[in-house]
Structure 1
């Protein structure tokens, strides 16, 4: 969710050479090719498709938090076939689709099969346009007794006390009664985790084997409950050990229905307040799990939504540096891949603080739009940042990538490896008004002229370098070395200790 809990702080060989130069015509490139999506899986800190290619995921969020019914065509939240076609044309290859525990099981033990069918239909629409779906079990504010959504009211026994003030989301996370409700979840006091496992198991069974399903995210932005203060200012290994046991229980419920399902784990929500995650410290993380943190800028939101001075945004690189340092620390410890589940802030000026490190680390992302299903990708400052030329699938191992969002210059180097399909590079449909040039060293272009997806075949075992840029541009010269998927390259895993301070909450 874009709205989230915040801390206000002061607060980032050439073995063979074959050159292939292709000048594309001055006409706009053709639409994205059709073709089915395939299942994904993880290996080490990378995500792969079934052809053995390393994937890079660029996506957006689609989350309906209304009272329902959810995912109903025409309700303003559900993605239609024309919308999916537009998103795919702009290089979006996945959607983080919000689903609701309350919608899945509105009555204790009783599943809403019509809702499950609507979810499956949305997955099918997206897959028909080459877009994978991450099914995100979304909550904000726990449930309806606190004006929130996600957990059905019957599943939580805690209630606001008479006279207990409710300041609204997200300040209501500090209400003692809500923290008590979250503690019920982590202690499974009244079987709430068991019921949630049943609901997620049913969801898994309904979409089992569908190639369009990227995975299931177990829970959006979980609050630690009554022990939340133990998370400040260095993170909370005690709570995270309990939280990991809960995540493992839910993962087992999903895998009981589909053993190959990729599962996404979020850190507890104090991550958004710069606290590091301790997932993977108390026990190993199961196979085929993706880390799914968020990357928001506190000062930017304060400036936008509270009318505070715009100069606050100058602190954003520092905050994002801490977040990426915490990502690096977890990656080094657990060796699992990361996809940034949410970022955005409705502030184009800070998007590079997420996008540049994501490119450097070959990390996927999912943008949170300024309004539900409103994706400013056709033109403008957000489109300039998000509609990027990038390798959607690499037949080998990424080494280094760089993209200039100002003029569309792109350079990418990878070491080729065995794969059943070629490397595929999406070319931005808004950055090259007079066409573009492709230059390949160590391989050649195998796609047709005007292709939106450029395919590359290696000519030997040496590195392959691909450059794409406008005619007349000198393009990008990549430095030597390898930083694709590297860790420890930016930020500080202990930065939250220096930046932790006054707890503030903000959102909409």
Structure 2
């Protein structure tokens, strides 16, 4: 064979090999059809990852929907999510909702669970699941109870009361009220059985939802306050209180697991986390499986501007605070080997929003945005909570399920450039699924896959299959 022909054949072989390792496809803009329900199913944990029933790493991009006022979760009330809201959220790539539930709603009278309220919760969970959206059940409180003008715990469950001369400064400063701190002590000591009543209520809800494919877990308590131990949390955190708090979480976990042994539970750090303090959860061994760390990421300066009218220029302090918060999150994961999900963050300032989003991407940590209310009241269509700059940042191209271990992730909300690398797990037969943003590619996009192949579904998602065990890199760029 002449050398010129041999060289030509060698070039062709090299080209074939290169093409098999790198696939570049030009794709028109993604369709608006909502994803199907094939990404549902039970979740669990594997080391620092949340995984689905196929063993894929799941990344959550979700929103909060929390009803804090009785009678709670009433379709058509302008807050509770409807089937049309679920379609809108799924079309924009959101795969989870943190649905606020209330101890006060679950057990409005001592020892009796309100089954009608439970049924309404189940209906919302199933409505979201029909569009491929999972639900995290968030046992929500702010200010402990209506006794202090807050919400969450029924008044019958707490014996402490404010004195007639005790001023109430309202949210968030009512947490410094002496009477509220004494009431929180009742919770942590379980002095009058309040944790047992709460555990019974959560178990009843868990039992009602057992087998419903849309349930992703139960968050045991939103923003728990340390009570009279709060001063010990500053300036370096409060390991003594956190040991007591962890025992409370373990007790509630046992109640939930008595109703469903596999139900994931989400533990928040005590709320001084939001005031820059680290969490000491996990200093003693967390014995339960399927426990996810559920911190929030708020900037104090920005929140004070919102709630107390401080100058917005103080938001310049947000970057160093975010850096500290995420170092604390990194410390928890390194110490415990458990996964994390940021279950609340949100701000009217796009820079503050983006600060959370970019830090979450760099760590491959999921998040749930505060807040999303229904757009639909009867036949009336309200404003889109994700319109404008907030929507441009929150609606992102991202890997919803990965057949392997994520290694790097970035998304540029200005250009739409997406870059993702993962190390495939050949024992996982289901494909990697990437949602392609419905907002960032008006003229279509180009996909490049190194180390694998892909196809595009009718709803615009990418399904990636690895060629081998080498890292797979997926890049999406706007045309």
Between structure 1 and structure 2, the one with the greater Rg is 2
Shift of 1:291: 0.3
Q: In the alignment, which residue of structure 1 is the partner of 2:226? A: 224
2:444 matches 1:435 = yes
Q: 1:395-410 to 2 correspondence within 5 Å? A: 395-410=403-418
Moved more, 227-236 or 295-304: 295-304
Q: 1:59-458 to 2 correspondence within 5 Å? A: 59-66=62-69, 68-369=70-371, 376=384, 379-417=387-425, 418-448=427-457, 451-458=459-466
Moved more, 125-134 or 309-318: 309-318
Shift of 1:32: 2.9
In the TM superposition, what whole-angstrom CA distance separates every residue of 1:365-398 from its partner, at most 9, and x where no partner exists? 0000276778856541101110000000001111
Secondary structure of the structure 1 residue equivalent to 2:128 = helix
Moved more, 429-438 or 306-315: 306-315
Contact map agreement 2:268 2:294 (CA 8 A) in 1 = yes
In the TM superposition, what whole-angstrom CA distance separates every residue of 1:183-235 from its partner, at most 9, and x where no partner exists? 00001111101100100110110101211100000000011111210111110
Q: RMSD over aligned Cα, in angstroms? A: 1.6
- Identify the structure with bigger relative contact order (alpha carbons < 8 Å, sequence gap 6+): 1
Q: In the alignment, which residue of structure 2 is the partner of 1:51? A: 54
Q: In the alignment, which residue of structure 1 is the partner of 2:11? A: none
Contact map agreement 1:64 1:372 (CA 8 A) in 2 = no
Q: In the alignment, which residue of structure 2 is the partner of 1:12? A: none
CA pair 338-175 structure 1, distance change in 2 beyond 3 A: same
Partners of 2:184 and 2:374 in 1: CA distance: 27
Secondary structure of the structure 2 residue equivalent to 1:336 = coil
Partners of 1:314 and 1:438 in 2: CA distance: 37
Shift of 1:167: 1.1
Moved more, 423-432 or 303-312: 303-312
Partners of 1:375 and 1:217 in 2: CA distance: 29
Contact map agreement 1:345 1:370 (CA 8 A) in 2 = no
Partners of 1:200 and 1:167 in 2: CA distance: 31
Runs of 4+ in 1 over 6 A off after TM superposition: 370-375
Secondary structure of the structure 1 residue equivalent to 2:302 = helix
CA pair 377-415 structure 1, distance change in 2 beyond 3 A: farther
Shift of 1:18: 1.6
Q: In the alignment, which residue of structure 1 is the partner of 2:470? A: 462
Contact map agreement 1:46 1:55 (CA 8 A) in 2 = yes
CA pair 372-165 structure 1, distance change in 2 beyond 3 A: farther
From the two aligned structures, give the one with the greater helix fraction: 2
Secondary structure of the structure 2 residue equivalent to 1:205 = helix
TM-score calculated relative to the size of structure 1 = 0.87
Contact map agreement 2:143 2:175 (CA 8 A) in 1 = yes
Q: In the alignment, which residue of structure 1 is the partner of 2:22? A: 19
Contact map agreement 2:80 2:373 (CA 8 A) in 1 = no
Where does structure 2 lack aligned partners over 5 or more consecutive residues? 1-16, 376-381
Contact map agreement 1:377 1:387 (CA 8 A) in 2 = no
Contact map agreement 2:188 2:245 (CA 8 A) in 1 = yes
Shift of 1:302: 2.6
Shift of 1:298: 1.2
Partners of 2:255 and 2:311 in 1: CA distance: 47
CA pair 32-342 structure 1, distance change in 2 beyond 3 A: same
Partners of 2:386 and 2:189 in 1: CA distance: 47
Aligned residues: 454
Where does structure 1 lack aligned partners over 5 or more consecutive residues? 1-14, 472-508
